[in-house]
Amino acid sequence: MNTEDGFDKYLETLEELIDTAFGRAFSKKGKRDAPAQTQDAKYQSIQEYTEQTGKRFRSTKDQKERGLSREDAFQEFVQTLTDES
């Protein structure tokens, strides 16, 4: 790899980092606390959500009142993420 290739790779990586940072910083209201999503990325389980975001999934008061299990509430949450994209 010559110096020009290395510099091009550096600029490409820098551009990706900046795009990600600005995407998170200027996302729509309400999505700021939600993890950034790539187009086809979904959380397959509560454990995967926790590993990727560092946050513990919690059911909403409404979901609890409707008697949803934590897993069902999580699936509802994932569906809302999909609907927003």
81 & 46 share domain: yes
Cβ contacts of 68 within 8 Å, gap of 6 or more: 59, 76
Q: Could you report the per-residue pLDDT of 12-58, keeping only the tens digit for each?
A: 888 877 877 777 777 654 444 545 444 444 789 999 999 999 999 99
43 & 25 share domain: no
For the chain, how many structural domains are there in total? 2
53 & 23 share domain: no
Q: What is the DSSP letter of 34?
A: S
Domain extent for 22: 1-30
74 & 52 share domain: yes
Q: Supply the DSSP string of 49-73, one letter for each residue.
A: HHHHHS------HHHHHTT--HHHH
Q: What is the pTM of this model?
A: 0.50
22 & 49 share domain: no
Q: How far apart are CA 34 and CA 26, in angstroms?
A: 12
43 & 23 share domain: no
Going 52 to 54 to 55 to 56, the CA torsion angle's sign is positive
14 & 46 share domain: no
